Structures are given as C-alpha cells and as structure tokens.
Amino acid sequence: MAVEPASPITTRTIGPGAFSGTALRGDFPVFDAPTRQGKRLVYLDAAASSPKPRAVIEALADAYAHHYANVHRGIYELSEDATARFEGARRRVAGFIGAPSEREIVFVRNATEAINLVAYSWGRTNLSPGDRLLTTQLEHHANIVPWQQLTAEVGATLEYVAITDDGRLDMDDLAAKLANGPKLLALAQVSNALGTINPVAEITEMAHRAGALVLVDAAQSAPHMPIDVRQIGCDFLALSGHKMLGPSGIGILWGRRELLDAMPPFMTGGSMIIRVTLEGAEFNEVPYRFEAGTPAIAEAIGLGAAIDYLDALGMDNVREHERLLFERAWAALGEIPGVRRLGPDDPDTHAGVISFVLDGIHPHDVATVFDHEGVAVRAGHHCAMPVMTRYDLPATTRASFYLYNDTDDVDALTDAVRATQQVFGG
C-alpha cells in the first residue's frame, strides 16, 4: 500500500514497491554530484553506513544552530529546549522499536557500545565461572569479541551456533546448544555478511524456554524492516543510528526495565549520579545511569528526524521495496556465469544484502572496477571473519540496498559484474 508521507519525502509508485527509490534519491544530497569518473553514484553500501537525507542533515544543523546547550542541567530556556528535543528523540526511538517505555532506551554511540554495555554491566554481574554464553558463527565481530572477553575474564564458556551451507542458523545445533543451559544468547536479526534474516521471535521463545536471556543485534534489521521488541520478546536490543539515515555517533541499547534496573553502571562520571560525596556515589535511575558524561545531543535529535523520515515511508514499505530489489538482483546475478552468491535463496529469509564472489577475481579487485563504474560496494570480511572461514573464503563483495535504490541500481550492479569479468578476462 502506498503511503502519503509528510514533506519533504518524495514518493511515487514508479519503482518496484510502494515508493520509488529513484524519486527518493532527490532527498539525499550525496546523489546530487557525479562520481570522480563522471558517473551517477550507485550506492550499494548501506550495510556499512547509509547516506543522510536532507531532513536529517537539516535537523542536525538546526539543533546545533538554534537549540544547542547541554541537557539535563540548565535552568535556562535554551537548555530546557535542548533537553526537550533530546528526550523527544528518545520517545521516537521507543515508538520505532515498540518499547513499552522510553525509560528503557539508553543512548550510546553505536551498536558496538550497546553490546559492550551489556557484556560489561550485565555480564560481569551475572556470569560466574563455568557458566555458558551462546552466540552464533553468523555474527559481526561486535557481537563476538565482547563475549569472548567477558567469558575469558569470568572463566565462563562461549559457544557458537553453527550455520548451514546456505547461510542460515542451524536450528538443530541451536536447540542442542540451548540445552547446555547458556545464560544468554546474543544473535543478529540480520547478518551483515550474508543478509540472512534470522527468525528471532521463534529463537527467543526457544531460548527463554531453555532459561537464556536474548540480546538481538538489530544493527542490520532496524534500518530495513519493522521492529517490535514486544513481538520479538527479546531482553536486549542494539542498533546504530548511522545505518538508518541518522548521524554517526548515536546508537541505542534497549533493555527490559527490570534488567536495566538491576544492572550496575557501565561508565561512571557526571550525569549518571544523584549524589556524590568523597566517600562514594549514589547512581541515577535508568536510562541516565548508563549515560555518563555529555551525550551526543544533536545526533540524538538527528536520529529522531531519521525515524520520522522512515516512519513516513512506513517500515513495511521499506522492507517490501528491498525485498523486490533483492529478488531482482539475486535472479540477475544468478544468470551470470562465474558468480557465486552466498546466503539463503528465499527472499523471506534474505534481506537486501547480497554477498558474492566472482570466480578467479579477488573481491578487492571487483570493488575497484565497480568504483570505476560509479558503483560503491564493500569488499572484505565485513567484520565477520568466522563467516568467511565457514565458507573458506578470504573475502566477498557485498552489495547492500536501501530505500533510495531502485531497479536501475540493480542493472548497474549486474553491468559492473560483467565489466569486471571483461577487465579480468572472465
């Protein structure tokens, strides 16, 4: 169903879905200029970070220009104004992810910090020697290394759910490892390396039955599909603003209130206290207890503007748009000899991220030729080295779609693949 978004979003039903990616490009200044080679910029690297629409850039500039002062401190108008806008952004985030209360929304720098916060604060309080934690082989390093550090420090054991040949979590292995009684399962809703969409609601139910808490890394899902923490049923959720049209330097940890209430601070200092004496300190309530020091004020307000933009489009429509682009690109790449696509075949379990390799051509060389063609993709291990190991690959090339992409970008992708094969004599 097409939506009628508020200005300044441009929608038209000429693209493959409810809105036109081509038309939306007009909202993103980065697409105004051609590339160095004089080509149209075809940006297929949203999974690394997304471009910003004018509405977000203007909200950020406006916050700094007219509404900026430190928050939660001043008894003067400007500070009250900044605080109201900052807290308004917190409310928008709560609404966006279906959080029962904005008090459960902790502003952090990014998904990495959100996961580290849980590993330090929850982990170091609740894990004992001999305990188990569970994550998966499909994770970004941000959802592996904090748990490795934690378990090594505490003397606990870290296990990994295996992945299938087509890049899904092995549900039998998951069930077997949950039966070992881990205290927490940390997993991504969408894999940044393969695009796999994990059935996190079903998995959370399995984990809860086995007595484990669940942390969902939503860095690659929150920007691209509707998210509802109540529907998922998870206990913690992490996301990064910069991947969902927002500024860098702002991210979110959501946690169930009773869990956050029971967790000690991660970092200490100003803002997170009620009272300090020379003998000790009394900590503030959540979420402020976890927000030591001056936060990223304008960036939080910018994230609020990004959410407004996404809400106006409708996250169901964003997901549907990317699903159609995925289907088209997956099929088109499948028709080119010498292209190996990774991840699930099924568009229901594959987000708008396609990892692929070209026979005999290193992914870095692929990305270099692509760049020449104006097509920006990521080549490398995608901060998911265990995934590369699983498929015995040093790296892949990754094309990731977002709302400003359209069928012309899919064509540009397949043209770039053919151009690369020609350059390398494929």
Which of 56-64, 110-118, 314-322, 411-419 is the region at the interface with ligand PMP (rule: CB under 6 A)? 110-118
C-beta of 248: minimal distance to ligand PMP in Å?
8
Position among 142, 207, 412, 416 found at the interface with ligand PMP (CB under 6 A): 142
CA dist 56 and 303 (Å) reads 7
In the chain, the amino acid numbered 250 is I
Closest to ligand PMP by CB, 177 or 382: 382
Q: Say if CB 188 and CB 198 are below 8 A apart.
A: yes
- The residue within the footprint of ligand PMP, chosen from 383, 388, 393, 423 (CB under 6 A), is 383
Report whether 422 contacts 172 (CB < 8 A): no
CA distances from 44 to 19, 81, 329, 400 (A): 18, 38, 12, 5
Distance in Å, CB of 383 to ligand PMP, minimum = 6
Cα→Cα distances 318→160, 199, 200, 324, 401, Å: 31, 19, 19, 10, 10
Residue 4, Cα to own-chain centre: how many angstroms? Answer: 26
Residue 8 preceded by cis peptide, ω within 30: yes
Task: Give the footprint of ligand PMP on residues 186-205 (CB under 6 A).
Answer: 188, 192
The helices-and-strands tally (H runs, E runs) of the chain is 15, 15
Nearest distance, CB of residue 48 and ligand PMP, angstroms: 6
- Give yes or no: 234 in active site: no
Please give the structure tokens belonging to residue 58.
């203007």
Rounded to whole angstroms, how far apart are CA atoms 229 and 65?
35
Q: Please state the closest distance from residue 200 (CB atom) to ligand PMP, in A.
A: 12
Smallest distance from the beta carbon of 240 to ligand PMP, in angstroms?
3
In eight-state DSSP terms, residue 169 is: B
Which C-beta is closer to ligand PMP: that of 110 or that of 151?
110
Pick between residue 16 and residue 251 the one whose CB is nearest to ligand PMP: 251
- Min. distance of Cβ 190 from ligand PMP in angstroms? 7
- Kindly identify the residues of this chain, within the stretch 224-253, that bind ligand PMP according to CB under 6 A: 240
> Which residue number, 134 or 339, has a Cβ lying nearer to ligand PMP?
134
Catalytic residue among 259, 383, 419, 423: 383
Q: Is 135 in the site for ligand PMP (CB under 6 A)?
A: no
Write the binding mask 204 to 223 for ligand PMP: x where contact by CB under 6 A, - elsewhere.
-------------x-xx---
Find all residues with CB under 8 Å of 276, minimum gap 6, and list them. 282
Across the strands, what pairs with 157?
Answer: 132
Shortest CB 407 distance to ligand PMP, Å: 25
Contact stretch for ligand PMP (CB under 6 A) within 52-60, 106-114, 306-314, 361-369: 106-114
Would you count residue 110 as binding ligand PMP (CB under 6 A)? yes
Distance (Å) of CA 288 to CA 89, 116, 265, 293, 309: 15, 17, 9, 10, 27
Query: With respect to ligand PMP, which residue has the nearer C-beta, 18 or 105?
Result: 105
Rounded distance, CA 206 to CA 395, Å? 33
The yes or no reply on residue 140 touching ligand PMP (CB under 6 A) is: yes
Cβ(157)–Cβ(151) below 8 Å: yes
Comparison of 219 and 358: residue with beta carbon closer to ligand PMP? 219
- Position among 112, 121, 198, 397 found at the interface with ligand PMP (CB under 6 A): 112
Min separation Cβ 192 and ligand PMP, Å: 3
**Interface size with ligand PMP, residues (CB under 6 A):** 13
Amino acid at 207: A
If the CB atoms of residues 197 and 298 are measured against ligand PMP, the closer one turns out to be 197
Structure-block tokens of residue 368? 């270099």
**Minimum CB distance to ligand PMP smaller for 151 or for 196:** 196
Nearest to 218 by CA among 157, 140, 291, 280: 140
How far apart CA 388 and CA 131 sit, in angstroms, is 28
Residues carrying an active site annotation: 383
Binding site for ligand PMP (CB under 6 A): 110-112, 140, 142-143, 188, 192, 217, 219-220, 240, 383
